[in-house]
Copies of this chain bind each other. A is one copy, B any other.
Amino acid sequence: MYTTETQIRVHYALTDQMGVVYHGHYAQFYEIGRTEAFRMLGYTYKDIEAMGIIMPVVDMHNRFLRPAKYDDLLTVKTTLRELPGNHKIVFHSELYNEADELLSTGTTTLYFMDARKMARIDMPERLKEAVRKYFHADQL
């Protein structure tokens, strides 16, 4: 299992007239979490795109438990529960506020794709190598 935590301050643009963060914007919190998860592996998502690979989101399931609010300092916890074996990678995200209340959970599935051919490809070996050390031998 590979887990990272990132902090995000909620700015005004993300709120809606219900006085909370608009539900559609949680995708951005999870995106920021995934980006930092990659960065901590030594590979930025920018690097991945520079390799000619894009990672479109193909599935996202969000559960909204408590509202995130303006100026909240959120913690997004991003977890890779399984080592990706092929073109698919699944991230689990949890969003907490400063009172450590769980605000939402998200499961996001992305594909690794060759940007030029627009075809699925396996997770690059270098990246897989970087993740592998976080998984016990019996999970590989």
Contact = CB atoms under 8 A, between A and B. Distances in A.
Interface of A: 9, 11-13, 15-20, 22-28, 31-32, 35, 44-46, 54, 56-65, 67, 70-71
A59 B46 CA distance: 28
14 contacts: A11-B35, A12-B16, A12-B31, A13-B31, A17-B20, A22-B27, A23-B56, A24-B27, A27-B27, A35-B71, A46-B70, A56-B67, A58-B63, A59-B64
Determine chain A's interface SS by DSSP, over half rule: mixed
Contact of A56 (B26, B56, B64): B64
A18 to B, nearest CB: 5
Nearest to A59: B63
Nearest to A13: B28
Contacts of A16: 12-13, 15-17
